[in-house]
Amino acid sequence: MLYLTFHLIHIFSVFIYGGFLFTDNLFCSRMKNDLGDEYPKAREQFMKYVRKVVPKALIVAVLSGGVLFSYHFGTIGEEGLSNFQKVLLVKAFLGAWLGVRGVLQVFFGIQPLVFKSHLFPFILVIIIIFLSQLMFAV
């Protein structure tokens, strides 16, 4: 039951974070052409509400992902890491990187040196989703 609770919390928080990235990259960025000079004001209104929820959802996603990682990783066999464990490690690294980047940016005001837009985190979320499906098939 505890596993199911963490899994549902993880999925819900990932939907919030991934949904924001999806909306920002595929819809808000396209509004520039239509809104012109009003775009910065509209984006700031959107971000005013996003900043209240999305960073917390990202932290919950990373923490619950860490708990799920401990459930799934298992022990390392004599032959080394299994393919499942390798893919899970890559997925965990990308998720942890997103979490560290988000915490540093939102809570400490440290802007990333590279990849300042939300496009790169969006691509990483897509890769993590594919890896989550792939890891059970390898």
- Which tens digit of pLDDT belongs to each residue from 60-102? 999 999 999 999 888 888 899 999 999 999 999 999 999 888 8
CB atoms within 10 A of CB 60: 18
Global pTM value: 0.84
The pLDDT tens digits of the residues spanning 4-53 come to 999 999 999 999 999 999 998 888 878 888 888 888 898 888 889 888 89
The count of structural domains within the chain is 1
Instruction: Decide if 18 contacts 125 (C-beta within 8 A).
Output: yes
Q: 43 is in which domain, residue-wise?
A: 2-134
